[in-house]
Amino acid sequence: MKKFSKKLFSGLFAFMLMFTLSFNIAEAKPAKSAKSAASTGVTIAATVIQGADVVVTTAGASASDDGMYHLVASEPNQSAPAGTDVAQAAAASGATFTVPLAKGTANSMLFKKFTVCAMRGGALTPVSNSMYITNPEACASAAPARMDFGKKGVLPDLLQSVASKNQPADLGAKQVNLNIPLSKIGSLAGYDFSVRKYNGLGMQVNVIILVDVASPAQYINPYSLDGLGAHNYYGLNSSTAEGVAALEYASSYLAKHYSGIGYGQVDNFIIGNEVNAWWLWNYMNCGSNDVFMQEYARAFRIMYNGIKSENANANVYTCIDHQWARAEASYYISGKAFLTQLNSLIKNEGNVDWRVAVHPYNAPLYAPNAWETSGSVSHSQNSPYVTMANIDVLTDFLCTPDMLSPTGAVRSVKCSEVGYTSANGEQLQAASLVYAYLVAENNSHIDGIVVSRESDDVIDIAQGMASGLCGLDGAHKMGYDFYKNAADPNYIAQASAAAGVDLQSLITRR
C-alpha cells in the first residue's frame, strides 16, 4: 500500500526515530508474551477437530503427583497453567484427551491453546508444548467453491463515476482488492455492494483487514497507543482479554458475512499491510522484533482460526513489502526474517496453511523498468529487494522443506499490490505491466497479481508514482490496453520493443 511512500515517511519521521528507536516501553504496555511451554516429557502431537469434539493426542510421559495429566485450555494471551482444566487422563505415554468443541458458546474451544500439565507440589505445572487447533475448517459453517478464475487483478477505483465504467471487467481482471479497516466493521453496506458487484462480474475478492486510528479501542494493540495518529495502520490487539474477544468476533463475522450467502463471497483475507514495515503500516512499539513477531503471530492465529471456522475454503495471508534480505532505516524487519520467524512461531504451536501476500514494487519504487536486476535486485537469497524481476527468490524460499505447509505443499504467493509509474513515459509503464503479468503467469506458486491501480492518485503522483492505468482525467494510458492484452503475442512483442529486450527471455519459470 503506497498511499504514502517509504521515502516520504523516512523524512517525516526521521526526527521521531531519534527518540523512539530506543524502544522505551510505557508502563501501560502489556508484558512480553511467554513462549510456548517447553516439553518436559510429553509432546502434543495433534490438536484437531473431530466431529463435535477437539481431540488432543500426545506422546511421551511425565510424572504427576496425582497420577493424572490435566489438559489446560488457555486464552491466546495466556500461558499455562493459566486457563481452564478441561480434561484429565491417566499419566501414561500416549494419553489422549477429548473435549467438546462447543463452537459459538461461552465454552468454545475454537481459539484455545492447549497444554498438558501435571500436578507438582500441589500446583499444575506444564509438562508439554502448547498447541492450537490446526484444522478450524472442520467446523466451518460454509465451504463455497472458490472463484479461482485467473491471476490477473487490479485495485479498483471505487469512486462511483469511475466504478460505474466496470473497467476491471474490460481489462479481463479476475481479482480485485478491497481494504476493510476495522473501524468499518459495523457499517459494511458499501463493501457488500462492491463484493457482490465484482463477484457478479466473475471476479475473486481479496480483503485486506486493517487497524486504522478510528478502529474501536479494543482492536488496537496496547503497543500501538503511543503512536496513534502518527502512522498509517496499527497492530491487532491480541494482548488483552478484550482484544482477543474482539479479534475472534471480527474474523468470524467477516468470514461468515462474506461466505457467499447474501453479501457476496470473499475468497482471500490478508491480515495487515506490509506488516514487516511495522513503523509505517503495522505500528507497534514493542521493544524488539521478537516481541513484535509474537504479537503479530498470536493475532494472526486468532484471525486464521476465525476465518477458516466460517469459510473452509478461504485462504489467509500474511503480508510483506519488497524488502527481502535488508531492513530499512531501523524500523523494518526484513521480509525474509519476518517469514522465517512467523513460520517458526506458527509451527511451534500447530502448523496451518497460511499464505504470503507480497508487494514486489521496483527498487526504488519509482524506477520505471520492472525487468531490471542489479546489486539490489538479484536472484540470490541475499538480494536486498524482491521485485517482479526476481520474485523467484521468494517462491524458491517457500519451496524449502522448513517452509512447506502442513500437507507438504508450497505456500502460494499473491502479488497483492504492485504498480509502475508512467512518469518516465507510458511505453515503459506498459512494458512493465506486460512483463509483470508474464512473470506471474509463469510461476506456478503465484496465485495472483493485483496491479495498483485502476486510476492515478494525486498523492502518488506527487511522489513520482503515477501508477494508474488511467489518468486523473479518466483517459486510458497505454498501459491500460497493454495490461488488458498482456497475453497477446502482438502486445508482448511491442512491450519487448519498448523495453529493448525480449521480455519472455527474462522470465524465470517456476
pLDDT of residue 3: 53
- CATH T-level fold of 42-133: Immunoglobulin-like (2.60.40)
Cα-Cα end-to-end distance for the chain:
26
- pLDDT number for residue 1: 65
Residue 31's pLDDT is what? 42
* CATH architecture classification, 6-30+144-161+169-365+375-414+446-452: Alpha-Beta Barrel (3.20)
DSSP per residue, 187-238: --HHHHHHHHHHHHTT-EEEEEEE--TTS-GGGB-GGGGGGTTSSS-B-B--
145: alpha, beta or left? (left if phi > 0; alpha if psi -120 to 50): beta
Give dist(CA 78, CA 97) in Å, integer.
Answer: 20
Listed residue (354, 362, 284, 283) closest to 323, CA to CA: 362
Which cell numbers in the block locate residue 102? 462447543
pLDDT for the residue numbered 2: 59
pLDDT, position 330: 73
pLDDT value, residue 37:
41
Interacting residues of 245 by C-beta distance below 8 A, sequence separation 6+: 218
Q: State the SS3 of 136-173.
A: HHHHCCECCCCCCCCCEEECCCCCHHHHCCCHHHHHCC
| pLDDT for position 202 | 97
The parts of the chain modelled with pLDDT lower than 50 are 4-37
- For the whole model, what pTM was predicted? 0.93
What does the domain layout of the chain look like in residue ranges? 6-30+144-161+169-365+375-414+446-452, 42-133
User: Using alpha carbons only, how large is the chain's radius of gyration in Å?
Assistant: 24
- DSSP for 358-409 reads E----SSTT-S-TT---SSS-SSTT-SB--TTSTHHHHHHHTSGGG--TTSP
pLDDT of residue 201: 97
CA 57 from chain centre, in angstroms, equals 30
pLDDT score, position 6: 43
* Dihedral sign of CA atoms 173, 315, 191, 319 in order: negative
